[in-house]
Structure 1
Amino acid sequence: MLFIIWFPLIWPVIKPSQPDSLSMILSISYLFLDLIFLLGVTIVLFSENKKINVLPILLLALGIFLQVLGDMAYAYHVVVPNLEYLYFADLLYSSTSFFVILAIISYLNKINIDIRDYLSIYRKPLLYNDWISYLPLILVLFTYSLLLVTSPDAALIWGVGIIVTLVILRQVISLNEIRKAQITLKRNKEIISQRKAQLDFITSNMLDLISESDEKGVYKYVSPSSKQLLGYSSEDLLGKSMYDFIHPDDSEKVIESLKESQGIAEGMRIQYRYKNADGNYVWLETTGKPVFDEKGFRGFIYSSRDIRDQKKAAEFVKKSLKEKEALLREIHHRVNNNLQIISSLLSLQSDNVVDERDHELFVESQNRVRSMAMIHEKLYQSDSLNSINFSDYIETLLNSLIYDYTKDLGHIKLDLDIEKVDLNIETSVPCGLIINELVSNALKHAFPNGRPGKIMVKLHQDNDQFILEVGDDGIGYSEEEVPENEKKLGFNLVKSLLQQLDGSMEIQHGNGTVYRIVFSELKYQKRF
């Protein structure tokens, strides 16, 4: 375009300095070298980055434009020597170097700008922009009009011929590019249409509801499955706030969960009640993920599903567990009652026994039954049905034994050092029987004739093991008495219970007797 504007201005001057038309055309074509250079550099920039860097190209184009103007000014100076033409050409050449350097700096530092907001051409209607595509044709017509007002010669005819050729080539290339663009656009539209149809088919038939909301919770997208899940069409929910449909009692929980998810930029999962098209609230479980772009937080993408059946199943299981818990408490209560009845029967029967030794056997059996009954009593009274507070159980058992054997709590003192531990029923029963046997033996033999003394019981946990110490400061027994004592029923029962606990026992003699027992809590063995 610069050449066409400049041609009628410089041609009258440059014509006398050239010997023939071909030389003149070659001289004029020098101006195209800068444009070819600009085209080459632009191609390199595009192929290097695979995208348009607007700022470097804009600065380089401006520099080349000034270079062309400088060449024109210098051409005038060569034909008609004039210092003003020379100074003007030097200024333009200097400006060219300045803009080229700026283009290189912006390219190396990857500095770029978006000029679309500054060009009104991108904001005008399409019909207004169409005249630009006809600009080469207008210039051709203008050049041909020169033939009508001037005397045509060979150089002008050559120049017009070159321009006509360029315009035709440009139009052919443009038509080919438009055709390729139309084919690509049509193919892309078909692909997008197919994918959209496939997405609509999937979202319409899936059980989950896919939705997107902005940062305020307003729906931007709702999958067609909302009709099947909630009774709403997608259009019914678009543009509305999701909080308008959430149960008032669940709104605060949902808001806090979304805020926390946004703050940590991670997904969330929450269950809440949602009003359907019938006005009823249904339980939904929603998995949400916050979405961010270069401007920051832009909203959430959700996947929701109906969990009414799961809620009903969970409620049924909860109710069933409560019923079984009540039933289990009743079983423990009845076992305790039955054991108490057996203990009472033994007590009544012992009153009719004349022999002292036989009476003692009845009392020992009664205490053993009662020690087991206490465990079942503690179980149905506790919050947990699989373990009891064993320290509380030991204190109750010891007080009961002292009262039964002495009828007077004054001369026997208790020295208790019991760590607060919970033991399951599998461990509590044998451990309680062991304590019953050892304490009963001490009360019968360690403090004869009302001798004052002390019963010591210690229980501590060491990692996964328990250490139980039961002792007294009574008269003890000699080494000769040990084998005889070991033959007694009570001692044999203790050894049998130790095997059941997979424990070990150490007996310390001296000022009284101390039994040191080490055992672990038994694991529950499934019976069925």
Structure 2
Amino acid sequence: MPSMAEQRPKLDEYLGQAFDRIPVAMIVVNQLGKITRLNQLAETTFGYSAAELIGRPVEVLIPARYRHAHPGYRQGFLAETNARPMGAGRDLSGLRKDGSEFPVEIGINPVQTGEGPMILSVILDLSERKLSEKRIQDALQQKELLLREVHHRVKNNLQVIHSLLDLQALKSSDSELIGMLRDSQNRVRSMSLIHQTLYQSQNFAQVDFQRFLGELLPRLTEAYGSMSGQVAIEINAHDVKLPINEAIPCGLIVNELVSNALKHGFPNQQRGKISVDIRQQGERQIELCISDDGQGIPPTLDLSRTSSLGLQLVQLLTQQLHGQLDIQRENPTRFSLSFQLGTAP
């Protein structure tokens, strides 16, 4: 049977072949920082032959601006002798023979040899990964720009419709028709504000409802000029953010119910308050409540058969949200809507 000494050359030869064929760049450096061995992929990665690198300082593979600090890092590692990533949390660069730099990730490991402790460096060329990340980032930026443009154009188109309704109202002397056109204007404005909020936001998936309500409700009181200063509006949005599929019907519901309260809840210059409260319960449950301390809803009014377009629209939008609407007629008048996120089409 061959002795251990006779077996070792074959074992070393086998390990050497594995070292050369491993699909990552590997370089062995001694205590003095001199390269003692590298595999084939390291030659390809850095553009040198093994003969050109063996015996040279490892700093030749590092951009000049980083070389002064590298010996200190190496000595610190030799003192610890624990395998670890090098430069964790920092972008590292390698230097090719042709002078070009490329992003790398390095793992360093202690190796005990007959010539003393050495450092085995495993180098990953991140060029392709960084290029892929840049492509993804560029695609995301293009998508973001496209979404901004889409929301901007939708908002502008809705504002055109708002202006056309305004022109139509100015040409009419029918007070009932003018009221209907003004109501339609308010609905269009509500949808336009949703898109304006998204356009101004950093997140196109979520509408900041606090911001939206802060824009919508003062404009509603302005639309009913006689109510300005007579009825106060309180907003409690609790930092709720809604996907656009839920934000638009919610915005229209708020528009309709606040408009109804302003038109019918405070006759004869009665003063009062309208409160809009929206909050999220758990991960998906949304609770929306619009209340006022006005004169209330007459008990003779059948809400399920009302001819009011606004209340019919509220009921249709509630169905669209797959929500539940509860109504309290007075002391205070309250519409409470609850629904689950992700159910609107």
- 1:463-510 Cα offsets, whole Å, 9 max, x none, are 121221101111112211134774422112111211222221111122
**1:498 maps to which of 289, 306, 318:** 318
Q: Tell me what 2:162 maps to.
A: 343
CA distance, structure 2, for counterparts of residue 190 and residue 378 of structure 1: 73
Aligned residue among 177, 189, 213 for 1:370: 189
Are 2:85 and 1:268 equivalent residues in the alignment? yes
Distance 1:196 1:458, change over 3 A: closer
Q: Partners in 1 of 2:73 and 2:326 — Cα distance?
A: 59
2:228 matched residue in structure 1: 409
Partner of 2:214: 395
2: CA distance between counterparts of 1:512 and 1:258?
76
Moved more, 463-472 or 237-246: 237-246
Q: Does 1:226 align with 2:226?
A: no
Q: Mark the CA change 1:377 to 1:236 in structure 2 (over 3 Å): closer, same or farther.
A: same
TM-score (normalised: structure 1): 0.57
Give the SS at the match of 1:360: helix
CA separation of 1:225/1:417 partners in 2, compared to 1, >3 Å: closer, same or farther?
Answer: closer
Cα offsets for 1:294-347 (capped at 9, x unmatched): xxx956433223332332222222222212211210111010000000011011
| Secondary structure class of the residue paired with 1:517 | strand
**Which residue does the alignment assign to 1:328?**
147
Q: 1:454 aligns with which of 273, 277, 297?
A: 273
Map of 1:285 onto structure 2: 105
The amino acid of 1:209's aligned partner reads A
Structure 1 counterpart SS, 2:262? helix
Deviations 1:170-197 (A, max 9, x none): xxxxxxxxxx7xx526741552364156
Alignment partner, residue 475 of structure 1:
295
Q: Percent identity?
A: 30
2:245 is matched with which residue: 426, 439, 454? 426
Structure exhibiting the larger radius of gyration computed from Cα positions: 1
Are residues 1:437 and 2:253 paired?
no
Q: Secondary structure at the match of 1:482?
A: coil
Once residues 34 and 62 of structure 2 are traced to their aligned partners in structure 1, the CA distance between those partners, rounded to angstroms, is 13
Work out which structure has the larger RCO, using CA pairs closer than 8 Å and 6 or more positions apart in sequence: 2
Letter in 2 for 1:441: N
Whole-angstrom distance in 2 between the partners of 1:513 and 1:391: 22
CA distance in structure 1 between the partners assigned to 2:305 and 2:14 by the alignment: 90
Residues of 2 paired with 1:435 and 1:214: CA distance?
Answer: 73
Range with greater deviation from structure 2 (455-464 or 269-278): 269-278
Name the residue aligned to 1:353: 172
Computed over aligned residues only, the root mean square deviation of the Cα atoms, in angstroms, reads 3.4
CA distance in 1 between counterparts of 2:159 and 2:74 reads 54
Shift of 1:210: 1.4
CA distance in 2, matches of 1:521, 1:258: 57
Q: From the superposition, tell whether residues 217 and 324 of structure 1 become closer, same or farther in structure 2 (CA, over 3 Å).
A: farther
Give the distance between the partners of 2:239 and 2:256, measured in 1 at CA.
22
| Cα 1:228/1:324, change in 2 over 3 Å | same
Equivalent pairs, count: 338
Q: Determine which structure has the larger helix proportion and give its number.
A: 1
Matches within 5 A, 1:11-26: none
Task: State whether residues 272 and 292 of structure 2, in contact with CA within 8 Å, keep that contact through their aligned partners in structure 1.
Answer: yes
Alignment of 1:210-221 (within 5 A): 210-213=26-29, 218-221=34-37
Which residue identity lines up with residue 352 of structure 1 in the other structure? K
Question: Is the contact made by 1:246 and 1:274 (CA closer than 8 Å) also made in structure 2?
Answer: yes
Question: Cα offset for 1:382?
Answer: 0.9
CA pair 186-468 structure 1, distance change in 2 beyond 3 A: closer
Q: Which of residues 172, 182, 195 in structure 1 aligns to 2:14?
A: 195
Q: Confirm or deny: 8 A CA contact 1:342 1:369 kept in the other structure.
A: yes
8 Å contact kept, 1:458–1:470: yes
- Structure 1 unaligned runs (5+)? 1-179
Name the residue aligned to 2:126: 307
Query: Where do 5+ consecutive residues of structure 2 fail to align?
Result: none
Query: Are the counterparts in 1 of residues 43 and 50 from structure 2 also a CA contact under 8 Å?
Result: yes
Deviation by residue 1:124-155 (Cα, 9 ceiling, x = unmatched): xxxxxxxxxxxxxxxxxxxxxxxxxxxxxxxx
Look up the equivalent residue of 1:211 and give its one-letter code: I
